[in-house]
Structure 1
């Protein structure tokens, strides 16, 4: 029997971590995908700050579904040594916060270049990241992101097969596929379904703009309906991008922050209610 557990990137509610947790609590959400904490990315928090995060989570009764890390969100031409050191620190953070998953990316490609030219380097780097996580008990999730090697369903599948591991899986993001001009359902979904262990609830129109789940071209309801039929047991993590929030400029290469109103609990509530409506339908 399928089991959907709702989580979310609560830094889209507010930069303040306590406000994030209060917002999740108000919506009855028991999990968080930690990314921004008090205006800082999770990757740069000190050990003392991580321990405080753990205490705040326990106080509000909220558990971590995944670390929304920036691992692999650099150009393939940038230095990898320091980046791998950061990844190792994030794995320690994940274990401190009892997170089962860490989200990664597969490196930005030089603009206008053929990703195939960088395949071997990408596979080598992702392999090194997976090797660094060995023995940690963590599952590493690759997110399909715009302009990285794994932005198309075919290259995501290539990564899954080339770096095959029981601790490497796909974080499926419908909106990102839409924004890359890829058919989400059935094409991308059927190609990656065997590897999907996590889903980002984000939807988009074919002009690239983000909309509440079910209102775009990401076929979110069809994806979730098929996952349910397949007995999926895992997280649905709200990443609405329905407004501007602190840290968005670092996440999106396009300058969106000037065109969006501020996000907050109101936009997160809309994203949550849209997901609940889909779940009720199926």
Structure 2
């Protein structure tokens, strides 16, 4: 497995001085692989020009590489002006900037579910995702679907339905059991076997419901069974990325090192 961090979940500092702290802390823990998401408070690719230059310079200085970019693509209502902007502008811009830093993996989401569901909505979602995947693949990218509550990729079965319907070898899955638990409130094993053939990336986070709301916690303190997930992946010979989503609510200074220590205790 490739132990990977997230740009905004290692050190709670979104200022222009934050990147050396983020990368320095990760490197001291033996992590030099990152998933690109939020930098200095803004999500990829909508960075300030100065932040983009700082990112490139600090990445080079600390020897940081990137496994994927996550622009929040298609995280919008299906039939909305915002979705049109995602398709026409956010997608190509994301591909352009990803190429500029040598990244060839794009993460996208299922569109937000309409309530009540609109006639033909699933078919439109499949067509939308398929088009985005085709555009990315034509430029040499692979694409990963991340599950998120309230979206068309919220539960294990919903994710499987989209993966099977799009049915492209370059289209894989981000297994995020924290988000799955929020949507399903089931142990990860309930959906793991059916999704396993598609898993290319794993987002590792822990949490539990507090007053009816999912709250993210340090590894081992929640109900998502982080230990069981990692042991299962090891037993199955998983060789993809294991992305540490270690930031809690609120994001505290010791979140990353504490959860990293817990993960190392499982891996040893």
TM-score normalised per structure 2: 0.88
User: Closer, same or farther in 2 for the Cα pair 1:64/1:241, shift >3 Å?
Assistant: same
Where in structure 2 are there 5+ consecutive unaligned residues?
Answer: none
Partner deviation per Cα, 1:45-94 (whole Å, 9 max, x = no partner):
36775455233211111111211221011122322332112111111222
User: Closer, same or farther in 2 for the Cα pair 1:116/1:237, shift >3 Å?
Assistant: farther
Question: Which one of the candidate residues 105, 109, 122 is aligned to 1:105?
Answer: 109
1:197 aligns with 2:200: yes
Partner deviation per Cα, 1:214-254 (whole Å, 9 max, x = no partner):
332223222222222222111111112413xxxxxxxxxxx
Question: Which one of the candidate residues 70, 73, 77 is aligned to 2:72?
Answer: 70
Question: Which one of the candidate residues 55, 58, 62 is aligned to 1:56?
Answer: 58
Q: Which has the higher relative contact order, 1 or 2, with Cα contacts under 8 A spaced 6 or more apart? A: 1
In the alignment, what sits opposite 1:45?
Answer: 47
Moved over 6 A (4+): none
Q: What pairs up with 1:107-146 in 2 under 5 angstroms?
A: 107-110=111-114, 112-114=115-117, 118-146=121-149
Alignment partners' CA distance in 2, 1:48 and 1:91 = 20
Alignment partners' CA distance in 2, 1:144 and 1:18 = 31
In the alignment, what sits opposite 2:93?
Answer: 89
User: Closer, same or farther in 2 for the Cα pair 1:238/1:43, shift >3 Å?
Assistant: same
Where in structure 1 are there 5+ consecutive unaligned residues?
Answer: 244-259
Once the two structures are overlaid, the 10-residue window that deviates more, 57-66 or 234-243, is 234-243
RMSD over aligned Cα atoms: 2.1
Alignment partners' CA distance in 2, 1:107 and 1:179 = 17
User: Closer, same or farther in 2 for the Cα pair 1:206/1:49, shift >3 Å?
Assistant: closer
Partner deviation per Cα, 1:135-166 (whole Å, 9 max, x = no partner):
33322111111110110101100111111112
TM-score normalised per structure 1: 0.84
- Contact 2:7–2:39 (8 Å) recurs in 1: no
